[in-house]
Each structure stands twice: as C-alpha cells, then as structure tokens.
A = this chain, B = another copy of it.
Amino acid sequence: MQIVSSPEEMRRIAQQVRQEGKTIGFVPTMGYLHEGHLSLVQKAKKASDFTVVSLFVNPTQFGPQEDLDRYPRDFHRDRELLENESVDLLFAPEKSALYPEGFSTVVRVEGLTDRLCGQSRPWHFGGVTLIVCKLFHLVQPQAAWFGQKDYQQCQVIRRMVRDLDFGIQIHVCPIIRENDGLAMSSRNRYLQPEERKQAPVLVRSLAAANQLFLEDERSAARLVSAIHSTLARSPEARIDYVEVVDAESLEPIETVVDPAVAVIAVYFGQTRLIDNHILGEDLSY
C-alpha cells in the first residue's frame, strides 16, 4: 500500500492511474476506522481497479466548541487495517497542505443542510462538501463510497455531485452495527460504560417505529411518537431531534407516501449519536 501525504503527489498518481485506463474507487474517512469503514473499503475494492482511502480529520466541519482536538486518532492501527484490505493507496494529507494561508473558498449545498444535523451544527455540512470537493479533485475517482449512518451527509453529497457535474458515482452503503445494534461510529468510544449500555436505545426506537410502519401506520407524528416513547426509557438519553422525513428531500412530511426515513440524534452526556432507518426495510433489535 502506498502512503501519500502530498496533495500534488496524490494528483500525479491519480492521473497516471487514469491514464492507464484503470478505474479509481474512493473512500474518504476521518480515520479511527471501524467495521463500517471497512465495509465501504471492501465494496470499493471489489468495484475498482485502484482503491484510495483518505484519512483526514477535517477541521472545517467541526464547530469551535466541538471535538476536533480530541477526535480519536490511531494512524498505525488504521494503516494496518487498510493494508489487510489490500487498499492500493492511503492518502493522509496535512491540514496546512489542504488549507493554505488565505484560503477563502466556500462550497455549500443550501436547503438540504438547513435542517436536522444542519440545525444543531450549522457549520458542519459546508465543511463536508468543501473537503469532499477538494478530495474528489485530488483523487479523481469514478466512484466513492459513503455510509448510510450519515444519512443527511449522503444526500448532501449526492446533491453537490449532481449540481456541480462531478460525474462521480456515489454509493451509499448499509449501516454496520455492533451486536447490540448500536451503529458503529468513531465517537462511540467517548461513551461512559453506563451510556454505552443504554446507547442501543437508538436502534430500538427506530425498530419500534419500523414495526409500527409495517403494521400500516402512515402518520409521521405517530411514528415519531413511537421513537420518543422508546427513547424515554433511557434516563441518559437527551434528544437533539427525532423526525420522519422524505428520504430524498429530507423535508418534513405528515403522512408517509413516498420513501421516508426516520432520523434521530441523541446526546449521551457530551456525546452526540446519530442513527436512521428507511421505513419498511428490515430492522430487528
């Protein structure tokens, strides 16, 4: 596995790979990899001639009071995991190389980013679209893989890719969960033992709404209310948002007619966890 930190070298290698007529598959990450990331890498690997994984804790998607500095990092372990997956290239740039002095360009999706996580974290998606745009230019993939756990992020990136004519295929892959159903996330390590014990209440609340949906409930309010009731059983859980929205536009709905997704964000102490489920798809916890 090649390890590259220079953006210019990354670009040079990508150009060479494409020149040879090979396809590039890309998985952007912030590192501290878990099985969720690795499931994306495996899919990218299968579909591409040359697989690139980036590892960059992107400062522009963190707010001033957020966990940028304490975000978990373990480069050696990440490298080993990616070597085991036979990834072709690990791109791990320095912050100063991606954000030089005088940096002043904005890439932002409007509308889709106003709600849900965008309301709690107004700076977040602008940072995501900016860094993904930059990485796409450097890595030059034909396709990129993202995890459905970050449901809104996936929709935002799809919109950006369409609007800016990137011509890159965006694959959204199923949420990978711990045995007890907790969606895998690098931030799960922040959880205190008691919080960790209660955290599967997120997926159970989504499963409750899903069960109701399968029993033909179509009122968004009643589906949301089922989620609330389940979450209320966990004394540590503080709700940020619970919504049932249109699966594509993320607009609020009253009645589920088109595909809809239940999306939730819940605090345990300082740790904010997110989860989601497309209503009607399998989920038993």
Q: Which residue of B lies closest to A112 (CB)?
A: B104
Q: Which of A114-173 contact B (CB under 8 A)?
A: 129, 133-134, 137-138, 159-160, 162-167
A19 vs chain B, min Cβ distance (A): 7
Q: Which residue of B lies closest to A99 (CB)?
A: B163
Q: Which residue of B lies closest to A21 (CB)?
A: B19
Number of copies of this chain in the oligomer? Answer: 2
Question: Number of contact residues on A: which range applies?
Answer: 20 to 34
Contact indicator per residue, chain A 236-277, by CB within 8 Å of chain B (1) or not (0): 000000000000010000000000000000000000000000
Q: Which residue of B lies closest to A100 (CB)?
A: B162
Residue A191 CB within 8 A of the other chain: no
CB-defined contacts of A109 to chain B, threshold 8 Å:
104-106
Q: Which residue of B lies closest to A142 (CB)?
A: B15
Residue A43 CB within 8 A of the other chain: no
Contacting A105 at CB < 8 Å: which of B7, B107, B167?
Answer: B107
A212 vs chain B, min Cβ distance (A): 30
CB-defined contacts of A105 to chain B, threshold 8 Å:
107-110, 129, 159-160, 163-164
A9 vs chain B, min Cβ distance (A): 12
Contact of B100 with A104 in the complex, beta carbons under 8 Å? no
Q: A137–B107 Cα gap in the complex (Å)?
A: 15
Contacting A110 at CB < 8 Å: which of B106, B110, B164, B167?
Answer: B106
Q: A129–B160 Cα gap in the complex (Å)?
A: 14
